[in-house]
Amino acid sequence: MKRILVTGAAGQVGSELVPALRQRYGTDNVLATDIRPAEGALSEDGPFKLVDCTDRDALDLAVVDFASDTIYHLAAILSAVGEADPLKAYAVNLGGLANTLEVARTRDCAVFIPSSIAAFGPSTPPDPTPQDTIQRPTTMYGVTKVAGELLADYYSLRYGVDTRGVRYPGLISYLAPPGGGTTDYAVEIFYEAVREGRYTCFLEPDTQLDMMYMPDAVRASIEVMEADPSMLKHRNAFNIAAMQFTPDSLAQAIRRHVPGFIMEYQVDPLRQRIAESWPRRLDDTAAREEWGWAPEYDLEALVADMLVNLRKKLAPVGD
């Protein structure tokens, strides 16, 4: 049975990936870690430890104490927050990854490393974006993501570390809030649709981005780590895709469930510029061919499931 340590586990992805890993590999075999205390199930239902991934000794100790053979390295600073403090994003995203890879090398662990659509930039072909193409991102977050992809490849080639990863699109979920990215509007809109019946969007109505519902992202993260290594021509940074939409088409889909939903726009120039530099649609042929990737949720299924679950979550106590 695997022994898995998850960094950055209290965030949007970890809040759903950790329970899925615990269900699959056993609660006691998955140690959730983060720099901040976790709330609810993450720390109540299984082991949790405070670990700062920029502190290599602390990370090493946690891996040794838990006898981990696998690390899911989720700790990161996302795009919009990263532009507010680029050097912090550099230190956490690249420093934390370098520490994780060194610990994995010396303690013989496999590592899951998430990259992002942010690893691409304005000179990348946007629709579709090939698996292997130009990567000249213009955010610090993107710079750390493309460098992280290369570092993961390097540790695999140079030291034989079993590094694997996917490029997540913008992720949509109802359990934990997003951590300060450019795609956050696609989560906020659902909360405001349920609470207020209206939302003011910070991206322009026709800004198309690649997006995915969290259950698909969680499944992809587990499936790529379980894939037959002899089938993998790539190891890291697989494009994965499920759906593409714009703020306007998402609002229309929500309106089919929330009649009268009002969408207004107050564009944030920073996040608009970032969004315009990212792919409109990823070509995920390599993931489909090499490890059988296939999404389950399209836009209609996502919207229906988000609204059902958020209505339950936001219902007044006693309802």
Does 181 help bind ligand AKB (rule: CB under 6 A)? Answer: yes
* Exposed / middle / buried, residue 215 (Cβ in 10 Å: 0-12, 13-18, 19+): middle
- Map the footprint of ligand NAD across residues 155-214, applying CB under 6 A: 168, 170-171, 178-179, 181, 183
159 a catalytic residue: no
Q: CA 33 to CA 119: how far, in whole Å?
A: 25
Per partner kind, with CB cut-offs from 5 to 8 A, the member of ligand NAD, ligand AKB, none near residue 96 is ligand NAD
Considering only 63-71, 181-189, 261-269, 308-316, which stretch makes contact with ligand AKB by CB under 6 A? 181-189
Residue 72 phi, psi dihedral angles, 5° rounding: -100, 110
Of the residues 183, 208, 244, 277, which one makes contact with ligand AKB according to CB under 6 A? 183
Residue of 141, 168, 213, 297 marked catalytic: 141
Q: Which of 4, 5, 111, 117 binds ligand AKB (CB under 6 A)?
A: 117
Specify the residue, 70 or 182, whose C-beta has the smaller distance to ligand AKB.
182
HSE on the CB side for 192, CA within 13 Å? 16
Reduce the DSSP state of residue 272 to 3 states and report it. Answer: helix
Q: Residue from 35, 41, 98, 304 that binds ligand NAD (CB under 6 A)?
A: 35
Which of 38, 108, 112, 28 shows the shortest CA–CA distance to 74? Answer: 112
Which of 30, 32, 74, 241 is close enough to bind ligand NAD by CB under 6 A?
74
Among 21, 31, 118, 140, binds ligand AKB (CB under 6 A): 118
Separation of alpha carbons 306 and 312, rounded Å: 10
b/e burial code for range 126-155 (CB count within 10 A of at least 16 → b): bebbebeeebebbbbbbbbbbbbbebbbeb
Minimum distance of ligand NAD from residue 167's CB (angstroms)? 7
Interatomic CA distance for residues 156 and 150, integer angstroms:
10
Q: Does position 10 bind ligand NAD by CB under 6 A?
A: yes
Q: Which of these, 184, 216, 93, 87, lies nearest to 146 by C-alpha position?
A: 93
The 3-state secondary structure of 239-258, one letter per residue = ECCCEEECHHHHHHHHHCCC
Interface with ligand NAD includes 146 (CB under 6 A)? no
Judged by the rule CB under 6 A, the positions of this chain that interact with ligand AKB are 78-79, 116-118, 141, 170, 181-183
The residues carrying an active-site annotation are: 141
Chain residues that interact with ligand NAD, rule: CB under 6 A = 7-8, 10-14, 34-36, 52-54, 74-76, 78, 92, 96, 114, 116, 168, 170-171, 178-179, 181, 183
